[in-house]
Amino acid sequence: MANTQVSASGVKRIGVLTGGGDCPGLNAVIRAVTKDAIYNGIEVMGIEDGFLGLIEDRIRPLTIDDVSNILGVGGTILGSSNKANPQAYPVGKNADGSIKFKDLTDVCMTHLNLHGIEALIVIGGDGTMSAAKPFADRGINCIGVPKTIDNDLWGSDITFGFQTAVAVATEALDRVHTTAASHHRVMVVEVMGRNAGWLALHAGVASGADVILLPEIPFDLDIVADYCIKRSQRGKRFTIICASEGASLKGGKQIVEKIDPTSPDPIRLGGIGKWLANELEDKTEIESRYVVLGHVQRGGTPVPGDRVLATLFGDHAMRMLHLGKRNRLVVMQNGQLADVEITSAADKQRLVTRNDPLIEAARSVYTCFGD
């Protein structure tokens, strides 16, 4: 039997949406929120494709059947969008060819009122939380649940999706290891992470990568090349490099793959793997190859740790709603569930520090960080 509780919020109907890029564990949060709400007499409306569903009025009821058997399913049953910021929605082009943006907050509020939605459970990263603020300012209680495979949300020690991405990247590095050894190559595996190196660091350590390149530690190409040569001279005729997409040379800039002016986060990094493999082959005369994992890291079945964490986050979001708390963001701090103001993480990133214990442990086993 469900463990029902008396809600101090008085809310009768909530909306739930997933914004930004997808990641494993989103469905686990939707499941936890929906079941808790319904068992406590609160109706749940699913908003499709993040804030885009609010703009276009694509909102539908969620039932227990809708969220049954989705705990281990990757992605999100509601869909998502990383371009639909209601406060700056692209609606065409200006006379000079630049993107024309329009504030559609009023349109979204009309749709929220039309469906009788009194509170929103917003699942996403810092951009999603920032987009929720105008609705909070207009009286809609917004409870945030953080997700990102980059693990870079300020204020939370971990976010769901990260553990699955680490597992996927680690398996890829393990597989590359055997072919690198067979062909005596330098193999560069480029992983996601933007400006934070958590994914590269954890997957690199877990796989025993020889070189780990992080955005937080600009690298010297000569040091990396010399490391590869010395390994070969010692009889280790291959080198595995785990490179974050945001890694850069000392005094250099990150490699930008594309700029999308319609996106709230227009800069898309990528290309460090290819560039590094080409440069190292020229410098070392060791055959070098690269692999870009890309969106493979976002997909697939969430590992048990992410299913558990996402369920805990969803449960805590509903507890805050029941207690009448307003405009809060679920976080994990020192192993304990907590909550902070929903926009406290906006325009901030939790980065790897140079004295992180995992970096120190990696250095102790002769892992190179290019510095």
Confidence (pLDDT) at 99: 86
End-to-end CA distance of the chain: 57
Q: Which two tokens stand for residue 47?
A: 């908003």
CATH superfamily, domain at 163-298? Phosphofructokinase domain (3.40.50.460)
Confidence (pLDDT) at 104: 94
Name the pLDDT band for 83 (thresholds 50, 70, 90): confident
Confidence (pLDDT) at 1: 41
At residue 61, the 3 state secondary structure works out as: strand
Nearest to 321 by CA among 19, 20, 34: 34
Q: Which two tokens stand for residue 197?
A: 């190196």
Check: pTM over 0.85? Answer yes or no: yes
Please return the burial class of 369, using the count of CB atoms within 10 Å of its CB with bins 0-12, 13-18 and 19+. buried
Contact 351, 36 (CB under 8 A): no
Task: Point out the catalytic residue in the list 49, 150, 152, 306.
Answer: 150
| 81 vs 168, higher pLDDT | 168
Class of 13-160+302-341 in CATH: alpha beta
Confidence (pLDDT) at 264: 66
- The domain spans of the chain are 13-160+302-341, 163-298
pLDDT tens figures, 277-305: 999 999 999 999 999 998 898 888 999 99
pLDDT tens figures, 173-200: 999 998 888 888 899 999 998 899 999 9
Contact 155, 351 (CB under 8 A): no
Name the pLDDT band for 248 (thresholds 50, 70, 90): very high
Per mean pLDDT, which of 30-34, 134-138, 294-298 is the most reliable? 30-34
**Is 150 an annotated catalytic residue?**
yes
